[in-house]
Structure 1
């Protein structure tokens, strides 16, 4: 409960959490709110918002329901953001822990790999990977994680360097635990909390990267996403700007919610360290 109280003490964290809860509820209820395929033609093309009660946010060039696409797009965006962050944090935390705990040549070799990945911007790495592979949702998630795991790796390594000399780690060595077991069972769990605070930034970046890939036509064509909706409205931006503005606002709200939630996590962890 103390962790919850520390988080509630951060107003920006509470606002971010509430915003994300609303988005998550919309994403989970999407099949109930708008059953069926959101990509199907549902009405007359280019209906403006609020002109027809059946289509509160209008329709696109093909007559597809914009609100249905927006709700179903929330599922794809949140799924990509959270899944990519989980993969990136898992890879980065394990590599950073192994590098920091082993030291020596292992540390040097793993950190050079991290440097090699950091040379290439994450979006370009994801763009190249998706361009070569088939643009399915799992490929997009892995491609985004491929450019985002280096930050967690460096942060985990820094934490492990300060943890590995503590008494409980020395006790584990004395009782004969294998070094790999010590690293993964004793050191890694204590190095994870600061890395988790970084995951909010990764989620926000992943959501934006997925939208950019979909905007360029490199997303999964069988799934509606906010990026593909923005791209769909690009050709009629002057006559029907709402087709790009509506999903764009949803994207902004998601990123702001994730950022505020991350600020709340950072504040909570800082108060825990002072306690």
Structure 2
């Protein structure tokens, strides 16, 4: 409760939480408000916003409902962002814990692998992977995860190196606990908070990467995405700029909300540690 009160006292955290709550509400309510296929024709082509209240945000070149696409696109963005962040943190935490706790040759091998992935820009790695494996939502999530796990791995390793010599770890060794049990049961939970602080950055980057891939035509062709909507509106940017502006604004607000909420969580955590 105290942590929640501190979070609510941070204006940027509250703003970010409200934006994310709106995104979550859009994603969860999409099947109820727009039960039809969002890629089906709903009205006349290029209907401008607010001309027909049954289609409040208008239609695209094929007559598809822009608002339906916006709501269903929120589902894709949320799924990619959360799944990629969870995968990156899981892989990074495991690799970092093994490298930091074992040390020696295993540490050297794992860190060189991390360096190899880190030398390739995450977007280029995702672009190459999706181009080879084929566009689908699962492929996009795996591609983004492959480029995002190195940061959590390095932070986890640094935390484990500072924790592994503490008294309670030595006590676990004395009573005969298995090294892997010590690493993942005793050390990892204490090393995890700084790693989790990266989650907001990874989620925001994943949403942007998915939008960029969809914009380039490498997103899931069976799903409506904000990047795909922006790309669709590019052909009629002069005559119907709203087709790109509306999903573009949604994308900007979502990334901003993730960053603000993440900053609020970090600030709340830092304040709690100082008071402790």
TM-score by length of 1: 0.98
Residue 219 of structure 1 corresponds to: 219
Partner of 2:18: 18
Q: Structure 2 length as normaliser, TM-score?
A: 0.98
Corresponding residue for 2:148? 148
The C-alpha deviation readout for 1:136-194, integer Å capped at 9, x for no partner, is 11110010010000000011111111111112111111110011111111111111111
Contact 1:69 1:225 in 2 (8 A): yes
Q: How far does residue 14 in structure 1 lie from its aligned partner after superposition? A: 1.7
- Which residue of the partner structure matches residue 157 of structure 1? 157
- Pairing of 1:183-222 with structure 2 (within 5 A): 183-222=183-222
Does the aligned pair in 2 maintain the 1:194–1:269 contact within 8 Å? no
**How far is 1:10 from its partner?**
2.2
In the other structure, the counterpart of 1:65 is: 65
- Gaps of at least 5 residues in structure 2 are none
Give the corresponding residue for 1:99.
99
| DSSP-derived class of the 2:197 partner | helix
**What value does the CA root-mean-square deviation take over the aligned residues?**
0.8
Distance 2:36 2:251 in 1: 23
How far has the Cα of 1:36 moved from its partner? Answer: 1.6
Q: Which residue of 2 aligns with 1:111?
A: 111
- What residue is the counterpart of 1:240 in the other structure? 240
The Cα shift of 1:6 comes to 3.0
What count of residue pairs does the alignment treat as equivalent? 275
* Partner residue in 2 for 1:268: 268
CA deviation after TM superposition for structure 1 residue 105, in Å: 1.1
- Corresponding residue number in structure 2 for 1:231: 231
Task: Give yes or no for contact 1:200–1:262 (8 Å, CA) kept in 2.
Answer: yes
How far the C-alpha of 1:75 sits from its partner, in A, is: 0.4
1:69: how far off? 0.2
